[in-house]
Amino acid sequence: MVKYGLGLLIFCQKNQVKTNLSLTGKIIKIHSDFIYVRSGDKVYECRLRDRLKKEKTEIFTGDHVRIEEISPETDQAAITEVFERKNLMQRPSIANIDQVIIVASLAEPGLDFLQLNRYLCLAKLNGIPALICINKIDLRDNEEKMFNQARSIYEPLGYKVIFTSALDGSGIKHLQSCICEKVSVLAGMSGVGKSSLLNKLNPELNLRTKNVSLKSGRGIHTTRHTELIEIPVSEGQSCQIADTPGFSYLKFDTIMPSEVMDLFDEIKKLSTKCHFSDCLHLEEAGCNVVSNLNKIDESRYLSYKTFVKEAFEYKKHITSTGQKQEMTVKTIDSPGKEKTRIFKAGSRAKEDSRRKSRQKINRVSIMDDVYYNKDDFE
Ligand SMILES: Nc1nc2c(ncn2[C@@H]2O[C@H](COP(=O)(O)OP(=O)(O)OP(=O)(O)O)[C@@H](O)[C@H]2O)c(=O)[nH]1
Ligand SMILES: [Mg+2]
Ligand SMILES: [Zn+2]
């Protein structure tokens, strides 16, 4: 049956009325095959058009998309096009963001500089500005040293450090001012209080939060999916901010040992005077980094060494298996210029090995945006 009305073509297919409207919107959440797209004031439950599935188009929360075949009765639709993205963060996976707010907690779970550095490096790897939010400062009494260290390590490196308590509201105004008119993502270990901070910013959200495990002292992965949330900040101003699942374990499994240095500004700066151009700043003779360790924070250098070790494991793995996990971020190096990174929208897989690695990324981003250890569940 075909009807014409108000200049709009309406047709029925399998008892469902669909319009030929074509809208653009933004993916705010992905649940298995269901993709939620906000367009104007409405949220549509969408599926990816078969053609895009066949092309193995990658989609991420935050992607700008076109939706068609809209059913006004059920607010269901099909995604027919994914637009070019300006950037992409792989872990947590989200596209088109202005900044990542790395949340850590002073206690329960305690401040873990290795994990904080890991998140900072991931943001840098993806070319996305980062700021640090130290939460649970109401538990500061026994953690004064950590509190001061957070500021003294990261502020000289150029990071903004915000101190908050989702419990008593300290620092929430400061956090609010940092997210105003921006698209941000909250990233950090499970249990540090990401969802609690969002609930404090907007109590109407009522996001699920849960106590950290008494047994392990770690979070128990309460948030399972990345979700982009609109928050009114003040009159006429709003912001978008994504709540994400906390990781319990992240590893550097996409970069080479020599690339880790690019993620630590203070090490890179000293490296220009190393004797060997391929110096990894571990224990090489004539290493300017090793002879200036007093100028680098100890926990930062320890993190650097850990990440280089992980990168060596990755290098060994790809050398033995011939598999390289393709990054969606491509670095272009031009003489005399800073390295630039480009981000590609979902494109066709070209070769077998590439297709396999892309599928991997697809599966992670669409099916299970959660990285957890089985042991974390009680
Ligand atoms: N004392 C104190 N507790 C907090 C604060 N923020 C959060 N919590 C508690 O910490 C626990 C974990 O908080 P969540 O908001 O669920 O943590 P999350 O980072 O979202 O964790 P995942 O969703 O698992 O990644 C909850 O019991 C919260 O009540 C805070 O500022 N102070
Ligand atoms: Mg959460
Ligand atoms: Zn060196």
Question: Rounded to the nearest whole angstrom, what is the distance from the C-alpha of residue 263 to the centroid of ligand 3?
Answer: 15
**CATH for the stretch 88-243:** 3.40.50.300
pLDDT of residue 206: 86
Q: Is 257 in the pocket of ligand 1 (CB under 6 A)?
A: no
Domain 2-82 has CATH 2.40.50.140: yes
Class of domain 257-324: mainly alpha
Q: At what angle do helices 172-179 and 194-201 cross, to 10 degrees?
A: 90
pLDDT of residue 359: 32
Query: What does the alpha-carbon distance between residue 197 and residue 186 come to, in Å, rounded to a whole number?
Result: 9
- Within 10 A of 334 (CB to CB), how many other CB atoms are there? 8
> Which atom of ligand 1 is found nearest the CA of 199?
15
pLDDT of residue 213: 72
Question: Rounded to the nearest whole angstrom, what is the distance from the C-alpha of residue 135 to the centroid of ligand 2?
Answer: 13
Spans of the chain, pLDDT less than 70 = 1-17, 214-215, 219-220, 248-250, 323-378
> Which atom of ligand 1 is found nearest the CA of 243?
20
Measured over the CA atoms of residue 272, residue 274, residue 279 and residue 281, the dihedral's sign is: negative
Domain chopping of the chain, boundaries = 2-82, 88-243, 257-324
pLDDT of residue 325: 57
pLDDT of residue 27: 97
For residue 257, whether the previous peptide bond is cis, meaning omega lies within 30 degrees of 0, is no
Q: Which long-range contacts (CB under 8 A, 24 or more apart) does 255-261 make?
A: 255/125, 255/311, 255/314, 256/311, 256/314, 256/315, 257/308, 257/311, 257/312, 257/315, 259/311, 260/121, 260/304, 260/307, 260/308, 260/311, 261/304
Note the pTM of the prediction, 2 decimals: 0.82
Q: Is 167 in the pocket of ligand 1 (CB under 6 A)?
A: yes
Q: Do the domains at 88-243 and 257-324 have one common CATH topology?
A: no
